[in-house]
Chain A
Amino acid sequence: MTAARRWALVGSGGAAGGVARALLAVLLVRAVESPQWAAPALLAVNLSGSLFAGFLRGLLEREQAAGGAGAAFDAFLLVGFCGGFTSYSGFVEAAVAGSPWITAATLVLCPFAALLGMHLSGGYPARSAGIPR
Chain B
Amino acid sequence: MRLAARDVCYARRVICAVGDIILETETLVVLLLAAAGCALGSVARDGLVRRFRSRAGRADLGVLAANLLACAVVGCTAVLGSPLHAFVVVGFAGGLSTWSGLAIEVAGAMREARWTRVLLHVPGAFAIALGVYLAARAITGGAA
* Chain A interface residues toward B at CB < 8 A: 6-7, 10-19, 21-23, 25-27, 30, 46, 49-50, 52-54, 57, 75, 78-80, 82-93, 95-96, 103, 106-107, 110-115, 118, 124, 127, 133
Contact = CB atoms under 8 A, between A and B. Distances in A.
Interface residues of B, number: 57
B99 A133 contact: no
Contacts of B107: 54, 111-112, 114-115, 118
B130 A18 contact: no
Chain B interface, >50% SS class: helix
Nearest to A16: B35
A22 B18 contact: no
A51 to B, nearest CB: 9
B133 A133 contact: no
Interface in B88-113: 89-91, 93-108, 110-112
Interface of B: 17-18, 21-22, 27, 30-31, 34-43, 45-46, 49, 59, 67, 70-71, 73-74, 86, 89-91, 93-108, 110-112, 118, 122-123, 126, 129-130, 133-134
